[in-house]
Amino acid sequence: MRIRINGADADIQLEAEKTVGEILSALEAWLDGTGLRLSGLGIDGEAVTADLVGVCIGRNIDTIDTLDIYTSSVTELFAECLFYVLEAIDAYNAADFEGKCSIAAFWSDSPSAKMLAEQSPGLFDWVTKTFSGEGASPQALRSVVEERLRELREPASELDKTSAIVADICARLEQLPLDIQTGKDAKAADTVSVFSGIAEKVFRIYGILENSGFAVREIKIGDLPIADYMAEFYSALRDLLGAYEQQDSVLVGDIAEYEMAPRLRCLHAAVLHAVKEHAYDR
């Protein structure tokens, strides 16, 4: 049997595999950690549609002349998922009550829903609640989904646009102890909220680079590999949010001023330099 991956002959030596499903399982294990996923299948020149996959995976390889296997990056599949969400939002806006209920039911069972739940559980919950009429408006959801698409397609530009926001929020973090001491609770809460949002955005773009096969783990911040630096960042962030929930104003101020502000500046600069240096925008 001839095996091709994305149209090119693959040098794959079969061992005990007897069925298409066994070959795909072995290939999935091999792809793990590469940023690629199985995305399509063809047998003897005919594409295997989604409704026939279950039948084809049990097929004996002795009955097949050519097996075509297609792969896509996680980033590409996630982008397709987000485009599907945008189309679903348009359909939802145009539908009557029964139509909205049908869209909600269809969404929950769709492959895009499964991909979104895996790659972005928070956004998955948001989409599910919106289509169920319990969450934010479709317009607000569209804005968030479009932002995530920009992050996938133009991470350098999208991260660069946050430079001024990062500079501002780091300055506000350094002033957070004073805001807390002087009773400016609303401003302090807003500072923590904005900081959390921008930090999440930097983390997301880092994850996009990693899922695309970019050698992000080779980046260093000071003497630390970026993975270790991010682990310390996460730890400090958990401490900050925990202190904030406990209303420990002294600890909140210290962590914000001496831990989070300098760490966010360094992390943002390192990831931005990496995406610009490698001209990552598509």
Helix axes 163-181, 261-277, angle to 10 degrees: 180
3-state secondary structure of 164: helix
For residue 190, what pLDDT is reported?
92
Q: Give DSSP secondary structure letters for 2-25.
A: EEEETTEE-----SS--BHHHHHH
Between the CA atoms of 202, 203, 204 and 207, what dihedral angle is there, to the nearest 10 degrees?
Answer: 120
Picking from 176, 189, 179, 168, the residue whose alpha carbon sits closest to that of residue 256 is: 176
For residue 213, what pLDDT is reported?
64
CA pair distance 278, 227, nearest whole angstrom: 19
Task: Tell me the longest C-alpha to C-alpha distance in the chain.
Answer: 77
Global pTM? 0.77
* DSSP code for 132: T
CA angle 135, 138, 140 (to 5 degrees): 85
Per-residue pLDDT of the chain (282 residues; tens, 9 = 90+): 888 988 898 887 788 888 988 888 888 877 776 677 888 889 999 888 877 888 888 888 889 999 999 988 888 888 999 999 999 999 999 999 999 999 999 988 888 898 899 889 999 999 999 999 887 899 999 999 999 999 988 888 888 999 999 999 999 999 988 888 888 989 988 998 899 899 999 888 888 877 766 666 678 888 888 889 989 998 998 898 888 888 888 898 899 999 999 999 999 998 888 777 765 555
For residue 128, what pLDDT is reported?
93
Which position has the token pair 């979104």? 116
3-state secondary structure of 240: helix
Element (H, E) at 141: helix 138-153
Single-letter amino acid, residue 189: A
For residue 248, what pLDDT is reported?
87
Handedness of CA 14, 19, 20, 26 (dihedral sign): negative
